[in-house]
Each structure stands twice: as C-alpha cells, then as structure tokens.
C-alpha cells in the first residue's frame, strides 16, 4: 500500500499497545490454526484444571460436531462455553460457512456479548471473501463499540485495503470516545497489518 494515504509519520506517532485486546485477538486468530500449538497449550493447561471444568470441556467437544444449523452455532456461541473449545468450534463453523455465517452476522450487528463477538471475529477473519464484503456493508449497523473495533481488525487480517479511510476514521473516533477501553487499537492494528508492520 502507498504511504501517502496515511498522515506523515503515522506509525511513529501511533504506536501499538502490545497487550491490547486487539493484539491478543490477532495472535489468537493467526496462531489458533496451528493444531500442534493448540494441543500443547491445552496439555499444559489441563494439569491445572479442576475435574468439573475438564468434564464441561469434554461435553462441549462431543456437542460441537453435532451442531447442524446456523441457529445451533449462534446459540452455542452465545452460551458460556469454555474458551478452550473456541478453536474446534470455529474450525467446524468454517466448514459450513453458508449455513453458519448469515445468522451469525445478523446477531453480530446487535450483540454486546464479548465471547460471541470474539468467536464471530475469529470465524470472519478466516471466512470467504463474500462474507467479508457483507461485513463491510453491515458495518454501519454494528452497535457495540468493541464489535466495531474487532471488525476493523478483521478488515486488516483479510487485507481489505479499500477500508483504509474507514480504519483511519474509526481509529480516531474510538480513541477519542473510548480512551479507557483502548478500542482504537482494533483499527490501528488493522492499519499496521495492511502495511505489513504488525
């Protein structure tokens, strides 16, 4: 991308927060499809988990392969499922994009539930181009500021260069309106990704 589309010295004046929710999500989204890494992390974590949590994880792992409709997925995504199972849930959803993504996008516009938003973003970051185009069209209807911030991150990960004006505007708006929550980091990280600086 051409640098003249950004204000002069943009990256120097706008450093990334390495511990922002956006950066953690980006790491999870990009590293999450490494099954060996996922298994190693789970094996380490399992040793410190109580039996009740392990039982819940295993029940959910039996349930995920049987989710058949988009509504099933949306309901599961909105439940209090264990984050350890997000990878498995998202991988399955991506094999059924035509069924899962339309109802998920519909709910995404109005959801204020962080767990649902993060799972949807994980799926959208790996989704087919047609769904990213739908997400762009729906952007003005997304109500939750956290969902807006994370959607901007999806645009970066999906290399949507045409969203740069939106990303710049949203970075400035979210920084100004939500300084404590650090929501400007979503669009900022997306800009870094588009310029291969992340």
Confidence of residue 1 (pLDDT cuts 50, 70, 90): low
* pLDDT for residue 33 is more than 70: no
CA-to-CA distance for 170 and 119, rounded, in angstroms?
22
* pLDDT at residue 3, as a whole number: 66
pLDDT digits (tens, 9 = 90+) for 80-120: 999 989 999 999 999 999 999 999 999 999 999 999 999 99
* pLDDT for residue 32 is more than 70: no
Percent of residues, the chain, with pLDDT higher than 70: 97
* pLDDT at residue 42, as a whole number: 78
pLDDT digits (tens, 9 = 90+) for 112-152: 999 999 999 999 999 999 999 999 999 999 999 999 999 99
pTM of the model: 0.92
To the nearest whole number, what is the mean pLDDT of the chain?
93
- The token pair at 179 is 């300084």
How many residues in the chain? 198
Contacts 24+ apart (CB under 8 A), 137-144: 138/105, 138/108, 138/109, 139/166, 141/109, 142/108, 142/109, 143/109, 143/110, 143/112, 144/111, 144/112, 144/117
CA-to-CA distance for 69 and 89, rounded, in angstroms?
13
């Amino acid at each position: 991308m051409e640098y003249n589309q950004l204000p002069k010295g943009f990256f120097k004046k706008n450093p990334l927060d390495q511990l922002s929710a956006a950066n953690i999500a980006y790491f999870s989204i990009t590293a999450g499809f490494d099954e060996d890494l996922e298994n190693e992390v789970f094996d380490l974590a399992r040793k410190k988990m109580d039996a009740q949590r392990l039982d819940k994880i295993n029940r959910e792992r039996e349930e995920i392969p049987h989710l058949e409709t988009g509504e099933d997925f949306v309901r599961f995504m909105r439940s209090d499922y264990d984050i350890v199972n997000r990878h498995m849930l998202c991988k399955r959803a991506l094999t059924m994009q035509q069924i899962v993504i339309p109802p998920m996008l519909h709910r995404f516009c109005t959801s204020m539930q962080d767990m649902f938003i993060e799972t949807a973003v994980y799926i959208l970051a790996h989704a087919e181009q047609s769904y990213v185009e739908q997400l762009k069209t729906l952007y003005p209807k997304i109500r939750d500021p956290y969902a807006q911030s994370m959607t901007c991150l999806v645009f970066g990960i999906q290399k949507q260069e045409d969203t740069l004006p939106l990303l710049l505007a949203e970075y400035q708006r979210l920084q100004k309106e939500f300084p404590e929550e650090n929501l400007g980091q979503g669009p900022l990280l997306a800009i870094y990704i588009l310029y291969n600086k992340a």
